[in-house]
Structure formats: C-alpha cells, structure tokens
Amino acid sequence: MLGAIAGDVIGSVYEFNNIKTTQFELFSPGSTFTDDTVLTIAVADCIMHRGDYAAYLKEYGLQYPGAGYGGRFLNWLHSPSAEPYNSWGNGSAMRVSPVGFAFSSLEEVLFEARRSALPTHNHPEGIKGAQATAAAIFLARRGESKEEIKKYLTRTFGYNLERTLEEIRPHYRFDVSCAGTLPPAFTAFLESEDFEDAIRKAVSLGGDSDTIACIVGGIAQAYYGQVPDWIAEKVISLLPREFQEVVSKFNRWAGIEK
C-alpha cells in the first residue's frame, strides 16, 4: 500500500493547483499526506486485526481531523451513528489498496473491498469503485498483463478505458465521483512505463490529483513490484511514526517488499 500513500503525498500539492504535465518535482516543501493516507492506514490496520471497518475509519479520522476529508465524511465522522450515507465518491477507492494486497483470491478481494466501502460508500458506484481498484491491484500482483487487467475492468465493471490520456487530459476537471475518477486513473496506470511514470501521468491529469495518484500508486506498486527506494524513503520520512509502524507491519504481514 506504500505506492498508494506515495501517490497521495506526491499529488497533495497539486490537488488545488492542478498541472497538465508530467514534468514536475515529485516532492516539495508542501508535500504531505492527506485523508487518502489516513484512511488507507485505517483499512490496513483493520485488516490485520480483523476489525470493524467503521470503527477503524472513525478512530483514525478523529485522530487526524485536519487531513482534508469531504464534508459528508466529516459529518459521518463526528456522528454518534455509524450508518452509511450512500456515497458514490472516490473515497472508497482511495483507501482500498491494502485489500488488494492482503488476500489470496479474487473472490476474497471483491468481498473485502465491498466490506471496506460499506461503512460510508454503500451506493453501487462507491462499492464498484472499491472493488475495481482492489481487483486491479490483485490482478497486477498476480502477474496479469495490462491487457488482461483492462479487459477485466471493462468486462466486470463496465468502465470505458478506450480513451487515451492525451484525449482525457485537456478537458479533465475536478471530479470526486468514482465514475469520473477511476477510468482516467486506470488509464494512467495502463499507459505507464514504471512506478514513477505512473504517478507522473496520474498527477498530470489534474482534477483530484492526490486521490487519482493514490489509486494509481497502489496498482503500480503491485504491477511493477515495488516503490523505488528513494521515493519510498522520502514518503516514509513524511509519515507519523504510528503510520510508519502500520506500513512496516502490514508489509511483513502481507509479504510485500515495500
């Protein structure tokens, strides 16, 4: 899941300052983790302890209240109720990467991705977004080709992945929906040459840059095998010690290099 966190950190400074190029500094003084990372860590910790997703999401969210959550999630976070709010937003996909790394069959991944989405994103599009992202990570982990991953995502979830980045980029704008986020994100991965290139292509789309790069980063880590050392070391240095410990434990638990 470190690839997803790296995407979040790298994309963080461009979320409200979009760029439309792959030529940019990966890290700057403003690079930081956001809600994408906080909730990814929550999901990983929950999986390792076989916990309740709603409880872990609330615990981590309340511990890091200024991470940039959406308004409806904030209302849910501070509500005494754990009832979902039927979200179709990309939050279910941005936090799901640990699921794609943690389970040994596609059926388990799809089941668990749904469970991780349900506390907040019980809308069909929210569930689909989480499942598609986690499935892409699982298939990449398993060594499937990009063409097979593309076919699966298209056939199973109905996403149109025929447009190229060059076609998408000029007109792409901020979109927090799963339906508007995932096809461009998947395309950024499919057109990438390595991990760094995948993140650069994700950020270059503009829009919700940190979340797109977070989604792409998880898939790219699974497909390319690891996060480059210099990127991993920089990202880890920007995380609180508690997050560093969860990442380290999860990597050992799931048998991930980095």
Give yes or no for a contact between 101 and 222, defined as CB atoms under 8 angstroms apart. yes
pTM of the complete model beyond 0.85: yes
**Domains plus CATH for the chain?**
2-254 (1.10.4080.10)
**Which position has the token pair 């190229």?**
164
Identify any residues that bridge with 89 across adjacent strands, giving them in sequence order: 177
DSSP E strands in 107-182: the ranges are none
**Taken in order 200, 217, 153, 136, is the CA torsion positive or negative?**
positive
**How far, CA to CA in Å, does 1 sit from each of 8, 116, 185?**
11, 15, 16
- In whole angstroms, give the CA distance from residue 243 to residue 250: 10
Q: Structure tokens of 235?
A: 């990202």
Residue pLDDT tens, the chain, 258 long: 999 999 999 999 998 889 999 999 999 999 999 999 999 999 999 999 999 999 999 999 999 999 999 999 999 999 998 899 999 999 999 999 999 999 999 999 999 999 999 999 999 999 999 999 999 999 999 999 999 999 999 999 999 999 999 999 999 999 999 999 999 999 999 999 999 999 999 999 999 999 999 999 999 999 999 999 999 999 999 999 999 999 999 999 988 765
